[in-house]
Amino acid sequence: MIIDMFLLAAIIGLLTYWFFFRKKKEEVPDFTKIQPTTTTSTSEGSFIDKMKKTGRNIVVFYGSQTGTAEEFGNRLAKDAHRYGMRGMSADPEEYDLSDLSRLTEIEKSLAVFCMATYGEGDPTDNAQDFYDWLQETDANLAGIKYAVFGLGNKTYEHFNAMGKYVDKRLEELGGQRIFELGLGDDDGNLEEDFITWREQFWPAVCEHFGVEATGDESSIRQYELVIYEDINMNKVYTGEMGRLKSYENQKPPFDAKNPFLAPVTVNRKLNQGGDRHFMHLELDIAGSKIRYESGDHIAVYPANEASLVNQLGKILGADLDMVISLNNLDEESNKKHPFPCPTTYRSALTYYLDITNPPRTNVLYELAQYATDANEQEKLRKMASSSAEGKSLYLSWVVEARRNILAILQDTPSLRPPIDHLCELLPRLQARYYSIASTSKVQPNSVHICAVVVEYETKTGRVNKGVATNWLKNKHPNENGHKSTVPMYVRKSQFRLPFKSATPVIMIGPGTGIAPFIGFIQERGWLKQQGKEVGETVLYYGCRHHNEDYLYKDELAKFLKEGALTQLNVAFSRDQPQKIYVQHLLKKNKENIWKLIHEGNCHIYVCGDARNMARDVLNTFYEIVAEFGKMSQQQSVDYVKKLMTKGRYSLDIWS
């Protein structure tokens, strides 16, 4: 026993000696060098210190998902010089917003917030931390002057929720609103809403701070052009979103700034006839460490059509393969370039810039100076003005006619701006989001997309094509012996199956709105195979014709046969004289619907068109609840709203 204890002590002693005196390179790091965290911001993370250093007194924060709020924020920051003030735009993700209470340290200071609402009343990804801080903080913002412009869409239930919340919360914390909340509606004319708000906002700023417009309406370049005559092409960006050569040397984790190049393994047409093209794509994510759940979204980075890029180069007389950089003239700015540089004009116009959407009025205003014909210059300036006539002309000639920048140049022969200035002005080409049409329970190494190709004729007789869907349509496996790839990442969603598999689900998704439900049904079928108790799985699907665009027809029949799907209701809207939509089938089965809601505690999911379908479906649920719950109209509305709050009525909709 004593010997055993002696041996044990010796072993412990040797281990202790080894631990403390082993080779230096294996030593435990000296943690004492790490400073304790404090609430005081460093100069690098403090927008207040940056404003002081650069002589700014207006900061414009933007919460942006698709780039529009960022664009509006940049325009407001740029406007400031016309009023003898200096502005900077800022991404709230890059700064400590608790510094907001220090804004009074700067004379005549103002914080402006351009806040987009994403999904169902949610903050954008880059504004999530700011939103969390606002909810938790009890900071004293007395003396802080602010204004808010919200970007939303009236077809959504929670119209401009983020803008409204920021405006209200800043006031609750003691901030002083110096101009009324602006509510932009993307279902109407977001650009006009912004211009109308902006033209009243600046006079209010002038009045509040006792300043006057300088009268300087001249265009100010934000970036300077640098041309590279002789450069190592390994140092030139060719479409990467973040790290140079990241597409050649892929490293996880993959996200918006580091997308994964997923090989396309399947690209097939889903519809049997008709003039539209529905497609199903499968992307291989094996080895990427990308994880996804049913209901998540896949974001893809598309490329503009080569013919459009070539036509732009030709009309502007530019060498598209010239290697350039656009460098920010403000050396203190976090945004050194408008897109990854150095690159070629061809790469910029193909991968980084939006050349297919109608340009906003600020682009027309800046370009007008290059029109050599007086009438054409006047027309461009008028469309960029805040006059009723100008707004009307912009709406009809640009927005409703869907003129992109190429069409504007073609229809304005004297307008030939320098290509570098055009590249400075055009907004960034954004990622496109699609509801994932698969489940990782069945396909852990594959993400599926269901989409319809966008193509239409404009009022000018031109054919406009959707950037991403046409690009995806041409992505075929093993193109000319090469793997066809798609830059992508996964965005998490709140659109989730119930935690308990025994809970019944009602899914409503006409057209491509069926996408997430293919994943849901696959997952419910998989759970059943695992021996789990699975509740009723009910689908309401709709399309135009049974023999033309009945998507996933065979798969749905198989799901039904195997019991993964317990009820399939399909509305063929144009197979009979009077149109039948999903809401009509819901009304037809209203008794069963009420039973699933009231007794079964089911979860309801709606995916697809926000403008008409989602609203009509919601009204149908109000009617069913009112009739069978014996409630008034207002009581039924409150009942369904409560379902939404509890996560029992979920939406994944778009307009």
- Active-site positions read 435, 607, 652, 654
Residue 158 is labelled as binding a ligand = yes
| Alpha carbon distance 422, 432 (integer Å) | 23
Closest CA to 586 of 576, 577, 602, 575: 602
> Is residue 144 marked as binding?
no
Is 581 part of any known ligand binding site? yes
102 marked as part of a ligand binding site: no
Cis ω for the linkage preceding 444 (within 30 of 0): no
Place of tokens 């999904």: 119
- 452 in a known ligand binding site: yes
- Count each helix (H run) and each strand (E run) in the chain, helices first: 20, 23
CA 195 to CA 385: how far, in whole Å?
A: 9
Residue 506 assigned as binding residue: no
Strand partners, 182: 149
Q: Which amino acid is at 353?
A: L
416 annotated ligand binder: no
- Report the alpha-carbon distance of residue 553 to residue 503 in Å, rounded: 25
Instruction: For residue 181, give the nearest of 275, 260, 231, 114 by alpha carbon.
Output: 114
Residue 654 known to bind ligand: yes
Residue 116, marked binder: yes
210 annotated as a binding-site residue:
no
65 is in an annotated binding site: yes
The answer to whether 304 and 349 are in contact (CB under 8 A) is yes
Q: Is 151 annotated as a binding residue?
A: yes
CA-based nearest residue to 213, from 223, 202, 221 = 202
CA atoms of 280 and 552, how far apart (whole Å):
9
Q: Tell me whether residue 153 is annotated as binding.
A: yes
35 is in an annotated binding site: no
- Is residue 580 a known part of a binding site? yes
Which residue type does 647 have? G
Which helix or strand (DSSP H or E) is residue 508 part of? Answer: strand 505-508
Q: Is 456 known to sit in a ligand binding site?
A: yes
Establish whether 371 is an annotated binding residue: no
Angle formed by the axes of helices 633-645 and 615-628, to 10°?
120
In the three-class reduction of DSSP (H, G, I as helix; E, B as strand; rest coil), residue 370 is classed as helix
Q: Is 360 annotated as a binding residue?
A: no
The answer to whether 500 is a known ligand-binding residue is: no
Q: C-alpha dihedral over 333, 337, 342, 345, to 10 degrees? A: -160
The answer to whether the annotation marks 160 as part of a ligand binding site is yes
Amino acid identity at 374: A
Establish whether 215 is an annotated binding residue.
no
409 is in an annotated binding site: no
Annotated ligand binding at 540? The verdict is: no
Question: Measured between alpha carbons, how far is residue 546 from residues 439, 450, 549, 569 in Å?
Answer: 26, 18, 7, 12
Query: Who contacts 180 (Cβ-Cβ below 8 Å, separation ≥6)?
Result: none
Kindly compute the dihedral angle of the four CA atoms of residues 127, 131, 132, 135, in this order, to the nearest 10 degrees. Answer: 170
Instruction: Please identify which residue in the block is written with the tokens 């893809």.
Output: 300
CA 79 – CA 63 distance, rounded (Å): 19
Binding-site residue ranges for FAD: 402, 432-435, 450-452, 456, 466-469, 654
Binding-site residue ranges: 64-69, 116-119, 151-160, 186, 276, 402, 432-435, 450-452, 456, 466-469, 512, 573-574, 579-583, 616, 654
Binding-site residue ranges for NADP(+): 276, 512, 573-574, 579-583, 616
Binding-site residue ranges for FMN: 64-69, 116-119, 151-160, 186
